Structure 1
Amino acid sequence: MCIAYLLMARKNSFLWLLLLSLICTLEYIVYMGAKPAGDFSASAIHIDMLQQVFGSSRASISLVRSYKRSFNGFVAKLTEEEMQQMKGMDGVVSIFPNEKKQLHTRGVLDSGIWPESDSFDDEGFGPPPSKWIGTCQGFSNFTCNNKIIGAKYYRSSGQFRQEDFQSPRDSEGHGTHTASTAAGGLVSMASLMGFGLGTARGGVPSARIAVYKICWSDGCFGADILAAFDDAIADGIQLPLELFHGNEKTDTNISFCCNDGPVLASITNFSPWSLSVAASTIDRDFFTKVQLGDSNVFEGVSINTFELNDMYPLIYGGDARILQQVLVEQI
């Protein structure tokens, strides 16, 4: 349909041709491998490549972002035909759509952070190190401290859902969870509704945290992920460049695997030069007893945070969601 519209547009004005060509485009990530040695103007090079594909009229407005700090590449709005043409250009390693990724554990490149959590208290921390040049995108609902020393958010589409905070603040909880797991401070008397009572702490409690919010209620997009990596390295975060284009020294890179499984083909984060690792289990079990009407007692693995002081009918677990929806509608 887009091709038909474009053929029609050629009979009309240049502006119609420009408008319709933009309507028929998708965002593609053009990966060009390692960053060239020495100084280079990434944007100028990338615009020049786009001009070779469709002239100077659309080049600047089609370029969404240039990556220049840790690797060479860019994001551009292209039609299917233009993408195929660009694949054959010198220097292009690969081209892939700016697809939405499902949320995984990414350390602090995640869904943001809840700065008021006790895990991120900055008591005992001095000023940020002098080598740190990152910034805190401060808003009325978000502030950094000497523990959370930087925070940014990324949304290349510029479109936000009602449930999302347009700031580094976490509306999902996942980013807060992973940040506290990696570098959360000591929090005493922590528990889940009384279960597992003890002291919670991250892997390195003395570490500072820089937050790069790339994940939203509808997922995480590739263009935003790469933009955050690019900025993180410029801010002073040490990230292995082999994450992008392999390691010539044959060292092994270890990365997270996925949140799904165990089923075939459930891995979503893999490459020939990396080792993908899945999550492990905890060293404890939580048991709950259920007494039936005939006085028989059965014990199973479950977490029950409230006391049952009466007898209740048994239902099929698959019907519980339906029953809950009915109750919500009645309210």
Structure 2
Amino acid sequence: MASKISPDPFCLLLISSLIITRPLLCSSTSYIVYMGDRPKSEISASSLHLNMLQEVTGSNFSSKSLLHSFKRTFNGFVVMLSEGEVEKFAAMSSVVSVFPNRKKKLHTTRSWDFMGFPQEVQRTNVESNIIVGMLDTGIWPESESFNDAGFGPPPIKWKGSCQVSSNFSCNNKIIGAKYYRSDGIFNKSDVKSPRDSNGHGTHTASTAAGGSVSMASLYGLAMGTARGGVPSARIAVYKVCWLDGCWDADILAAFDDAIADGVDIISISIGSWEPHDYFNDSIAIGAFHAIKYGILTSTSGGNEGPGLATISNISPWSLSVAASTIDRKFLTKVLLGNSKAYENVMYPLIYGGDAPNITGNFNSSYSRFCFLNSLDPALVKGKIVLCDALLSGREPFFAGAAGAVMQDGGAKDVAKSFPLPVSYLGTREGRHIRSYMNSTSNYL
């Protein structure tokens, strides 16, 4: 039989590298004790969990060790434990699994038209009763995507609430909002409310259920109408991600609430660095209990593709959504002095390898890649720099260049933005440009 215990990788690392520090840093770690369905007895879940904790810890018992109890739709709790205590909990017949409170990470305007969901479609009143639960970084309620004009009061089935604060309130579009932090430890940059200070949660919420916003664009590019898949649906926000990531304990607490609150579907664009066993994975556990209540969980495929075995959310009772191709590109032609165009003001062209910052102790083997500080500002100022690598664009920008042409052999399915005009070419086109530059002394 497989072990119920999933080890804490941080403690294992400390043990293997510096045993003397282990008792200080790993004597008590946050774990999740998962127990399956809600208890059917009259005893409250919190009392049951405290009794179990007292049985395991004995004279070392402290109620403060119990950080959170899951009790609305499934059974379990978050608790500070030593390794020996973890083993005792795992030996209990009522416990399904014990695993560390791990950190997870966060994983466009025309997508719905491309998929065949047209803007001009007859909306029914039923759609306005759909509640989408978003587990993410929160939401920016002032965004036009969440304007509640034309919305009536929340559906009668809604049992959730809104954690109102000085900088946040709900409306008839965003009908509920909560935030979670089981350890109570916030970074000074964290916003202690459901408000989104990252942008990821606002992006995912608007993609799923944002209202129609005309004249939307990326700095003037691809102007059109931005909207979600179900623009008339309501949104319930569960903020589980902070500056340091998204913790399992908070994800499970949000699932517990979202299911009990009455959402119809749960969307979570969060995942691990690698897949875990179902009973040791907070998203798989939460999605399992959601589907038992008839609630589908839509999970993200992740950002690690497009190679094999790069999806982290793999439970069979959830819908793992991967990225697809899109039907548009933002094209820029590269026009050379010999009239060759590689999709009109002309700028002098210079190869990064010919402009090393000698005074900064850089040579052409560095400057050809346009690494930060490797370019000579006197040589590249006002020119377009050809770089042998795809970088952020700030490197030639800081050196005073007018723009850059970057060549790279990698996949081009991820949109990028740069602080100055940049064209991103394949290595074949890059070789053509180098050949042209070698053929003339006055290249543009």
Q: Deviations over 1:43-70 (max 9, x none)?
A: 1111111112111642412111111111
How far 1:245 moved relative to its partner?
A: 5.6
Aligned CA distance change for structure 1 residues 308 and 229 (closer, same or farther; 3 Å): farther
Q: 2: CA distance between counterparts of 1:164 and 1:276?
A: 29
Q: 1: CA distance between counterparts of 2:392 and 2:36?
A: 51
Is 1:244 the counterpart of 2:247? The answer is: no
The equivalent residue for 1:66 is 69
Q: 1:217 aligned to 221, 240, 243, which one?
A: 243
Q: Which amino acid aligns with 2:142?
A: E
Unpaired segments ≥5 residues, structure 1: 3-19, 300-306
CA contact (8 A) 2:256 2:286 kept: no
Q: 1:323 aligned to 381, 395, 402, which one?
A: 395
CA contact (8 A) 1:66 1:73 kept: yes
**TM-score by structure 2 length?**
0.61
Unpaired segments ≥5 residues, structure 2: 1-10, 12-22, 108-131, 267-284, 349-383, 401-444
Aligned CA distance change for structure 1 residues 275 and 198 (closer, same or farther; 3 Å): closer
CA contact (8 A) 1:107 1:178 kept: no
How far 1:102 moved relative to its partner?
A: 1.1
Comparing 41-50 and 227-236, the one that deviates more: 227-236
**TM-score by structure 1 length?**
0.80
Q: 1:227 aligned to 250, 253, 270, which one?
A: 253
Aligned CA distance change for structure 1 residues 83 and 170 (closer, same or farther; 3 Å): same
Q: 2: CA distance between counterparts of 1:203 and 1:195?
A: 22
Q: 1: CA distance between counterparts of 2:289 and 2:175?
A: 29
Higher relative contact order (CA 8 A, sep 6+): 1
Q: 1: CA distance between counterparts of 2:223 and 2:175?
A: 30
CA contact (8 A) 2:35 2:75 kept: yes
Q: Deviations over 1:160-202 (max 9, x none)?
A: 2233211111111110011011111111111222222221111
CA contact (8 A) 2:133 2:258 kept: no
The equivalent residue for 1:147 is 173
Q: Which amino acid aligns with 1:170?
A: D
Aligned CA distance change for structure 1 residues 315 and 180 (closer, same or farther; 3 Å): same
Q: 1:75 aligned to 78, 96, 107, which one?
A: 78
How far 1:136 moved relative to its partner?
A: 1.6
Is 1:173 the counterpart of 2:199? The answer is: yes
Superposition pairs of residues 1-331 of structure 1, within 5 angstroms = 24-37=27-40, 39-55=42-58, 57-104=60-107, 108-238=134-264, 243-244=287-288, 255-271=299-315, 273-274=317-318, 276-299=320-343, 310-311=347-348, 312-318=384-390, 323=395
Aligned CA distance change for structure 1 residues 200 and 49 (closer, same or farther; 3 Å): same
How far 1:39 moved relative to its partner?
A: 4.4
Comparing 127-136 and 199-208, the one that deviates more: 127-136
Q: 2: CA distance between counterparts of 1:233 and 1:289?
A: 51
Aligned CA distance change for structure 1 residues 290 and 187 (closer, same or farther; 3 Å): same
Aligned CA distance change for structure 1 residues 107 and 327 (closer, same or farther; 3 Å): farther
Q: 2: CA distance between counterparts of 1:321 and 1:199?
A: 29
Q: Which amino acid aligns with 2:53?
A: L
How far 1:137 moved relative to its partner?
A: 1.4
CA contact (8 A) 2:290 2:296 kept: no
Q: Which amino acid aligns with 1:24?
A: S
How far 1:255 moved relative to its partner?
A: 3.7
Q: 1: CA distance between counterparts of 2:230 and 2:103?
A: 31
Q: 2: CA distance between counterparts of 1:156 and 1:130?
A: 30
